[in-house]
A and B are shown apart, each in its own frame.
Chain A
Amino acid sequence: MKISRYIFISSMLLLLAATAVAQENKAVNTSKPWEFKGVSVSADLFGTIGRIMNDFTSYEVAVSANFGNRFFPVVEVGHGSTDTTDETTRIYYKSGAPYFRVGLDYNFLYKKGGELSNYKIIGLVRYGQTTAKYDVTTPPMTDPVWGNTTSLTLTDVEADCSWLEFGVGVQVKVWKNLHMGWSLRYKSRLKDGKGDSSQAWYIPGYGENKSGSFGGTYNIIYDIPLNRK
């Protein structure tokens, strides 16, 4: 929750900066809505430091196409993993799997030209999917009536999961073709991968297996130059 607030505050500051520039800049982008303007690649830094804030680590890259500086179809691929033991329940959980998301970014500042074309305020939608395998080892459970104990060890349990994401983001040009940006996303689970003996606790690309949650990305983006004559 603190992270979400931090992202929000940062986004608002960037928004204010963009608005201030807008008041001084009258230039207009004259591109047609579906005019192809290039391809960008990006990497998410937020997931790589996720281990500091929670039990999950992910590595993610994305490719997006720019149409009229307005529509940005996006493909995000990554690998998420966890390897942890809960301090209270003493349950050990290990999982790691690739995931992908496809979707669209919409730049609300698509009409801006000049200085303001260095900024993007984005609305985004994604569909994500993964097939995760996980191992679980539980400590002995004691039968409260009979007093016997039993435990559960599961290996390579497969969970097919999918989800939707909606959110907003901000991108700012840093230097030449290099941009940086945030996105804040609400994630809504579609398929939880529930099995006969368990359900996945961690869904790579989604996070903890809850019906809905918030997440974020911090991206370094590089616009691949087009060699047009």
Chain B
Amino acid sequence: MDGAGRVSGVKVGDARPVRRGRGAAYWQAAPFALLFLLFFIVPLVLTVAVSFWRFDDYVLTPELNLDAYREMFEGCIDRLPSLCVTFATYLSTLRFALMAWAVTLVLGFAIAYFLAFHVRSVPMQMALFLLCTVPFWTSNIIRMVAWVPLLGRNGLVNQALQGVGATDAPLDWLLYSEFSVVLAFVHLYTLFMMVPIFNSMARIDRSLLEAARDAGASSWQTLWNVVIPLCKPGIVIGSIFVLTIVMGDFVTVGIMGGQQIASIGKVIQVQMSYLQFPVAAANAVVLLGIVLLMIWALTKLVDIRREL
């Protein structure tokens, strides 16, 4: 617990004014902690538990068994190399996550770089930053629906393409396709990449860049050897956000995939709606395991605790 003060970035643990009234801290934190206990910790524990339970006659009974996992991975090992449904779904979700990650990383980095290093006045920087964040506060579903008039069969893009004679028939793959799913992820989540990277960039001492230039580094060399290493914490935090969101997604894949594309989240949702609780829970446990593994790997790359 010693690390807490450092972890949170609140370094006032030793400061005099807060020494008194230490008991008050417990009362102040208690409601907050209770909420997470009731609606986060207990649900997660129950999810793990239920994945080993039985569900018959509409009642969950705590009889430990591995049926849910057996059902989930049925035929997955013996039918290799052909993929079972579960493996195919997990791989497809992973592929979406990697595609969305790659695009949001490059785009988010470029936008953050522009704001941090090319926009020189702070008010202008804040204004442009705010311009990028406003859509974050509006409905994601509406932002997905908003692609219909642009990408649909008779949408603006198809009209334009046919108008200039680039194609003679409307392109079908623009909407309700893998393309539109990735596009929507980029549309919705580039911000999650951009904000932490911008935050890292804002802390970079500008004299370091000058020093690099004075030492004869080209701008690409400065970018690669100075800026990117110093932005690592932001990149890692942004990557964690984007990867975990996409890995668990079912709404975007559902709407932008025209309800035709599978994802882990969607499988869980469907199993819940068919009251297959233990299997849904087993899927959730595996998903959680994969996500935690990704986070672990990413935090191995860089110690973000120091940076928060």
Task: Answer yes or no: do A and B interact.
Answer: no
* A→B interface (CB under 8 Å): none
